Amino acid sequence: MIDAPGKKILLVVACALVDSDGRILLAQRPEGKSLAGLWEFPGGKVEPGETPEETLIRELDEELGIRTKVACLAPLTFASHTYDDFHLLMPLYVCRRYEGMAHGREGQALKWVRSKSLRDYPMPPADEPLIPFLMDLL
């Protein structure tokens, strides 16, 4: 049971996209969005009828021009964080096999970051607890 009485649950899915040097892609939330300026693992809201993997495949293409498939998405852990307006559940997948060069198709800044440097980038509070899992992995 999630102890967030009266709050809606928002299901977002996120991805640690890993390059051949073992660096992880962070995307900066753009002006005009909530938590603007903070760095996050790319992803987005799970739409009705989608599996989290389908959401990630769609979002990585829409946001970054990256193409991947379900077999290349490995679940690692998930974030569970109560915001003022909702409770966020956010599975984190790791993707090492994909096609395309990531570019911010929605104007967002991108950075490839070593796991030990992830803490140098201010993140939404839901994303920060995910860092140790990536430091263990990479």
Residue list, annotated binding site: 29, 40-43, 63
The least CB distance from residue 126 to ligand C5P, in Å, is 4
| Residues contacting 3, CB < 8 A, separation 6+ | none
Q: If binding is defined by CB under 6 A, does position 91 make contact with ligand C5P?
A: no
Q: Which of 80, 85, 74 is nearest to 52 (CA)?
A: 74
Residue 116 sits in the site that holds ligand C5P (CB under 6 A): no
d(CA 68, CA 56): 9
Q: Which of 95, 102, 126, 131 binds ligand C5P (CB under 6 A)?
A: 126
Residue ranges binding ligand C5P (CB under 6 A): 10, 12, 14, 33-35, 40-41, 43-45, 83, 88, 124, 126-127
